[in-house]
Structure 1
Amino acid sequence: MNELVMSTPLRKKVIHMCAQLFRFGMEQAKSCVFPVVIFGSLALTQWISLPFLPRYDWLLLIFLLMQWWMYRSGLETADELKVITLFHLIGLALELFKVHMGSWSYPEEGYSKVFGVPLYSGFMYASVASYLCQAWRRLRVELENWPPFIIVVPLAASIYLNFFTHHYVIDIRYFLAVLVLLVFWKARVTYEVGGIRYKMPIALSFFLIGFFIWIAENIATFFGAWEYPNQSDAWSLVHLGKVSSWVLLLIVSFLIVATLKNVKHTNNLKTGMEWRK
């Protein structure tokens, strides 16, 4: 009888945890609509040869239509679309440089290729921003102990610029990673699942999301989204060291989204105060 009495609360706790995990997974899945379409399109165009246009051009059309539909259907707001467009441009600039430096390539033909880079590639960066914006809204994300604007912006700019400058001077990514840990040591991200708020160190969330992006990168290269030099003859696993690159790029994405969200929140508060006056 005692064992039964003791096990009942434990069983309820386990059931509640499983239910919360399911809710969290559902919200994450809803936030990944754009990335799922990207992977689905990569797989579809890899297995099925579509007529009239090269594969890269079909991908661009599909992603443009998907972006238009998400905005028109209300899945994305006008502000989120602006953020996603910004990330498309940031990602495209990085792609142009990296392809020029031989870091990776897009070997297939396409009318929408510019200096060897298909324009659809920017959407893969935009999909990360889409996920962040969607998850931010769905999980009611809030930040605690967020460092000041004057620190966050130069740090994000330094991380992004290092992707370019490390080809010419020393790579400082690990120094920047340590700096991120120091700057965000006390920072926490809080989110809501099923009416209950949870808390996580921001640095841990950076690593977890970056790791899953690395997994997504392996899937993308398997379906021929792009090609690393060591994958020219046959597909192979992307080097684990790329996780650090994705974590740093994710940090840039997160910092920009968080900064814009904070600026909008501050402006809304000011507008509310002026209205009350």
Structure 2
Amino acid sequence: MQRATSLERRVDAWAHRLLLGAPTSGFRAGLIEFAVFVVKQAWACVFGATLLLVIVAARFWYPPDAALARNDALTIAAVLIQVAMLVFRWESGRELWVIVLFHLTGTVMELFKTDVGSWAYAADGFLRIGGVPLFSGFMYAAVGSYMVRVYRLFDLGFTRYPQRWMTAILAIAIYVNFFAHHWWWDARWILLAAVIVLWLPTVMHARIWRRTIRIPLLVVFVGVAVFIYLAENIGTWAGAWAYPDQAAGWQPVSPSKLSSWFLLMIISVVLVAWVYPPQVPAAILHGERAASLR
């Protein structure tokens, strides 16, 4: 396992001992691979899932008359989760830089979006900047955490990945459009088309355990955006924030937000790619070198 934390290396060694002698083909082998896939995905989501559980728990059990405002309690809980991720070596210091950067870019966008009325938070607590409670940035950090963790847990490799400078320009354009479309033309559909053009040829190679699966990267992007959208529905239902059409009572988040999350996720992908430059899988790279020597 490349780039794993010390804890993950120990867990990986234990899992290999446990699965030693497991069948290499047939139904049981496929079931084991699927189980490993689910466990790795769950581990990659640990930051976001824990934060979401805290938000839901606060909706049910946090006293409305508590001396500490609920938003402040959520912020403190988010900080403690992040500290635990580092102390227990669930996350490396190198990855923290990406998460912090995504946290900051998300917070800046939150300040603007709440100011123009795109969504709103409860107006309580002291741990806030303007109308934005500080725990909101950790929700963006959760997306960044998932991205960096899934990269190493599945030892991701890519074929035909676009030039990183091109992806960086597109990510900047996406971020600017989140602000600019409020007073200018919304370019999201052009940006979505640009994402498709850049990443359409790209195939992701993910090592599960014994098997490596190959998936078009755009399909992965769509899947991640859908899961973020589902988490957003849970977050708004739990009262963490609300869109204007939810002010009179909760209703599912508009499916149009899927395109927003898809584009925002691209920013996270680009940030992670600057920390972990996309690599061609070793087996393919060695094959290409062998072919060139013939």
Of all paired residues, the percent bearing the same amino acid is 34
Query: The residue matched to 2:205 in structure 1 has which SS?
Result: strand
CA contact (8 A) 2:112 2:179 kept: yes
Q: Show the counterpart of 1:173.
A: 188
Residues of 1 paired with 2:75 and 2:122: CA distance? 16
How far the C-alpha of 1:52 sits from its partner, in A, is 2.9
Normalization by structure 1: what TM-score?
A: 0.88
Q: Show the counterpart of 2:256.
A: 241
* 1:264/1:209 CA distance change after superposition, 3 Å: closer
Residues of 1 paired with 2:214 and 2:180: CA distance? 36
Task: Figure out how many residues of one structure are paired with residues of the other and give that number.
Answer: 254
Kindly indicate which of the two structures has a greater share of residues assigned to helix.
1
* 1:113/1:167 CA distance change after superposition, 3 Å: same
Q: Establish whether residue 62 from structure 1 lines up as the match of residue 77 from structure 2.
A: yes
Q: Establish whether residue 152 from structure 1 lines up as the match of residue 167 from structure 2.
A: yes
- Structure 1: gaps of 5 or more residues: 1-11, 266-277
Large movers: runs of 4+ above 4 Å? none
Q: Show the counterpart of 1:210.
A: 225
Query: The residue matched to 2:144 in structure 1 has which SS?
Result: helix
Question: Comparing 214-223 with 198-207, which one deviates more in the overlay?
Answer: 198-207
Q: Establish whether residue 106 from structure 1 lines up as the match of residue 115 from structure 2.
A: no
Q: Show the counterpart of 1:38.
A: 51
Q: Show the counterpart of 1:25.
A: 38
Query: The residue matched to 2:195 in structure 1 has which SS?
Result: helix
Residues of 2 paired with 1:87 and 1:209: CA distance? 16
Q: For residue 49 of structure 1, what is the amino acid of its counterpart?
A: Y
Residues of 1 paired with 2:182 and 2:86: CA distance? 38
Which residue, 85, 88, 99 being the options, matches 1:73? 88
Q: Show the counterpart of 2:202.
A: 187
Which residue, 173, 176, 186 being the options, matches 1:161? 176
Query: The residue matched to 1:183 in structure 2 has which SS?
Result: helix
Question: Comparing 106-115 with 68-77, which one deviates more in the overlay?
Answer: 106-115
Query: The residue matched to 1:161 in structure 2 has which SS?
Result: helix
Q: For residue 93 of structure 1, what is the amino acid of its counterpart?
A: V
Cα deviation code 1:54-78 (max 9, x no counterpart): 0000011111011011111111000
Q: Show the counterpart of 2:7.
A: none
- Structure 2: gaps of 5 or more residues: 1-24, 281-294
* 1:109/1:253 CA distance change after superposition, 3 Å: same
Residues of 2 paired with 1:256 and 1:49: CA distance? 35
Query: The residue matched to 1:262 in structure 2 has which SS?
Result: coil
CA contact (8 A) 2:235 2:241 kept: yes
Question: Comparing 193-202 with 241-250, which one deviates more in the overlay?
Answer: 193-202
Normalization by structure 2: what TM-score?
A: 0.83
Q: Establish whether residue 231 from structure 1 lines up as the match of residue 238 from structure 2.
A: no
Q: Show the counterpart of 1:91.
A: 106
Q: For residue 81 of structure 2, what is the amino acid of its counterpart?
A: M
Q: Show the counterpart of 1:139.
A: 154
